[in-house]
Structure 1
Amino acid sequence: MKTLKTAASALALSLMASVATAEGKLSIYHWFEYIPQELLDKFAAEYDVEVTLDTYDSNEALLAALKAGKLGQYDVAVPGDYMVEILGNEGMLDTFTDDEMPNKGNILPQWADVSFDPGRKSSIPYQWGSTSFSVNRDVYSGNIQTTDIIFNPPEELKGKINVLDTAGETLTFASLHLGIPQCSTDREQLKALNDLVQNAKANWASFGSDVAKDVLVSGDAAAGMIWNGFGMKAREEGANIEYAYPDQGYIVWMDNVVLLKDAPNRDNALKFMNFLLEPENAAAVTNYARYTAGVAGVEPFLDEALKTAPELNPPAGGNPQFVQACPEEVQKVYDTIWTNLKK
């Protein structure tokens, strides 16, 4: 009888463990249109985890949502480089050990120890790329290697320009146009920045990040600020557009998967981050999103089109710039400029 009870108890415990595993969850806060559903399904099946994904359209929207009470509801998020630093300074990130991330050695050397997360204690690299603009060559055939296209456009493009609805990148792009440093505290430079975007706004048709590709494909915009992978997708969907690397400079960025503080499913979050550091999985994101992975060994898994795409292969030289995390007093001025711009 004792043996039967023991066997029954063992079976019950086994069933309970199976149910507990099946009920595992992972909650992701992610950029829109940036990860293939098939990859999420693969992770869910491999680890028997229920995956939910909510999306945002800017780093600033991510920060605002976490500050408004979303922290503790999500396990991982995908902020850009400067936003990783801001989230860390705000105490919104958890840390992990190297032992908890077995695939950490797959990170490419240039992304393994970064200023916004030294030693990669809270984040892993996801994808990196650039932010500039694309122009419809059926509408405008002139020189596009200048930020004048956005801030002092030719007649053919006036009123037909979409601008990203993200303060960090749009105001940084405006600073590049003016040739002033990011996070400037100089009153005259800040006034010039405000005057530039306010005057340029008259030539813009819309602010839109999640629609940046669609308006170029549909022809609703003849030019628009856009991320390079999104620009490649628009071209592949039939838009006769060219992506620019303007002489004044363009933005480069690295998106990262971070472990959020108070993650309700911390173990599954770490499994997911480690899963994304496997070359085949990192390549799946690249093939879908059309950016560039921060993981070694992805080449055998990449689409051939990525190797020669002009959006992913910038010319030598140029002036690529990362967006900087501004001191709080400067950020307040930038926030005011952006708020007034959006009125």
Structure 2
Amino acid sequence: MKLRSILLGASAFAMLSLGAGAAKADGELFFYNWSNYFPPELFEKFEKETGIKVTLDVYDSNETMLAKLQAGASGYDIVVASDYMVDVMIKEKLATEFDAKSLENFKNVAKPHDTMKYDPERKYSVTYLWGTTGFTYDSDVASEKLDDSWKEFFEPRKEFQGKIGALNDEVEMYAAAAYYAGVDKCTEDPAEAQQILDILQKQKPYIAVYSSEGTIDRMAAKEVSMHMQWNGASHRTKESLPSAVFVYPKEGLSFWSDHFIIPTGAPDLENAKTFINWMMQPENAAAASNYAGYMNGVKGSDAFLDDALKADPAVNMPEEYADRLVPGKNCSPKARDLRNRVWTKLKT
């Protein structure tokens, strides 16, 4: 999910903010995605091979994307949604049923990505990339190797105090504090929500910034010495900061996946299906992984992955950490309300 600063270079894929009923010419595709989460050169390749021109618009959270669609934005052909948001979009009739399994290249999709909890028959979605959310620290700053625990992030050692970056992400921060507290991240118990708030408020004086954008640049420039990060962002941080270490906290960390969705009212359903089918080709899926730093769900893509990606434990997770992964979960309205109240109180 991520690395939030857009780097489209000199390519023709400028951002376009689309309102409800935006006009669309033939041979175009309007794509709504996290920023810096898709290689510009892959858009160019797609346009060259299909004749379909892609225009990109970006968002900074699933909730921002959802709010725009709920407000009536109908100009997008494809959006990228995280696992729990797929459930929300289907239930709110914001997703178009297109039967992904009927697409020619769906045969390339590896298990377990051929199904998912919120779309078991893959009628509405196809996996784009998947990863985890932990934290990264600069080992050059640490007086000794840190423990693989959220304690290092929420109750930091002296050398990291005031030099911590946190994601400006209600879901991720709340979940991490819940793991550390040992409570369900979808708790409906106000007392447990208060435990989570206490952890977050105790940490707040040590936070330099709450931001989901620029996490890589911030670490590389040593503006902060520790940052909550998606594992792909940590991989890209290590390219500029070799001393960066990604931590898989023993209390648990979020395992997420992002998915291509065709929103209700998409101007060009066929172009959207063409794009999704094209992205299930191993070489194209690998290009996305190499750029964003996250694994994909397409068989045969390993042959095209960069060696550095395959060798980095931040991306290619050591097997012994598998039982630490906590899958995405769409919390109940009561739980979401508690979470929102905790986040609002923290940020005010």
- Choose the corresponding residue for 2:222, options 214, 219, 222: 219
Q: Could you tell me how far apart the structure 1 residues matched to 2:150 and 2:59 are? A: 27
Contact 2:100–2:126 (8 Å) recurs in 1 = no
- Counterpart residue identity of residue 320, structure 2: G
- Choose the corresponding residue for 1:261, options 245, 252, 264: 264
- For 1:27, the equivalent position in structure 2 comes to 30
TM-score (norm 2): 0.89
- For 1:10, the equivalent position in structure 2 comes to none
- Counterpart residue identity of residue 103, structure 2: M
Call closer, same or farther: CA 1:253–1:316 in 2, change over 3 Å.
Answer: same
- For 1:19, the equivalent position in structure 2 comes to none
Cα deviation 1:251-281 (Å, max 9, x = unaligned) = 1111111111110111101100001011110
Per mean C-alpha deviation after superposition, the further-off stretch among 137-146 and 171-180 is: 137-146
Gaps of at least 5 residues in structure 2 are 1-24
- For 1:8, the equivalent position in structure 2 comes to none
- Counterpart residue identity of residue 263, structure 2: L
C-alpha displacement of 1:187:
2.1
1:232 correspondence with 2:232: no
- For 1:163, the equivalent position in structure 2 comes to 166
- For 1:135, the equivalent position in structure 2 comes to 137
Q: Could you tell me how far apart the structure 2 residues matched to 1:239 and 1:90 are? A: 44
- For 2:296, the equivalent position in structure 1 comes to 293
Q: Could you tell me how far apart the structure 1 residues matched to 2:62 and 2:116 are? A: 18
- For 1:328, the equivalent position in structure 2 comes to 333
- For 1:272, the equivalent position in structure 2 comes to 275
Q: Could you tell me how far apart the structure 2 residues matched to 1:36 and 1:25 are? A: 18
SS at the partner of 1:243? strand
* Paired residue total: 322
Q: Which has the higher helix share?
A: 1
- For 1:4, the equivalent position in structure 2 comes to none
Q: Which has the larger radius of gyration?
A: 1
Q: Could you tell me how far apart the structure 2 residues matched to 1:199 and 1:238 are? A: 29
Q: Could you tell me how far apart the structure 2 residues matched to 1:201 and 1:293 are? A: 34
Contact 2:100–2:124 (8 Å) recurs in 1 = no
Cα deviation 1:57-106 (Å, max 9, x = unaligned) = 22222222222332x12111111111111111221100113575211111
Contact 2:215–2:227 (8 Å) recurs in 1 = yes
- For 1:84, the equivalent position in structure 2 comes to 86
- Choose the corresponding residue for 2:115, options 113, 116, 129: 113
- For 1:39, the equivalent position in structure 2 comes to 42
1:203 correspondence with 2:206: yes
Per mean C-alpha deviation after superposition, the further-off stretch among 187-196 and 24-33 is: 187-196
Q: Could you tell me how far apart the structure 1 residues matched to 2:53 and 2:65 are? A: 22
1:341 correspondence with 2:346: yes
Call closer, same or farther: CA 1:247–1:99 in 2, change over 3 Å.
Answer: closer
Contact 2:128–2:296 (8 Å) recurs in 1 = yes
| Amino-acid identity (%) | 34
- Choose the corresponding residue for 1:310, options 308, 313, 319: 313
C-alpha displacement of 1:112:
0.9
User: Cα RMSD between the aligned structures?
Assistant: 1.6
Q: Could you tell me how far apart the structure 2 residues matched to 1:317 and 1:239 are? A: 23
C-alpha displacement of 1:323:
2.7
1:56 correspondence with 2:59: yes
Gaps of at least 5 residues in structure 1 are 1-21
Contact 2:131–2:295 (8 Å) recurs in 1 = yes
SS at the partner of 1:142? coil
C-alpha displacement of 1:211:
1.3
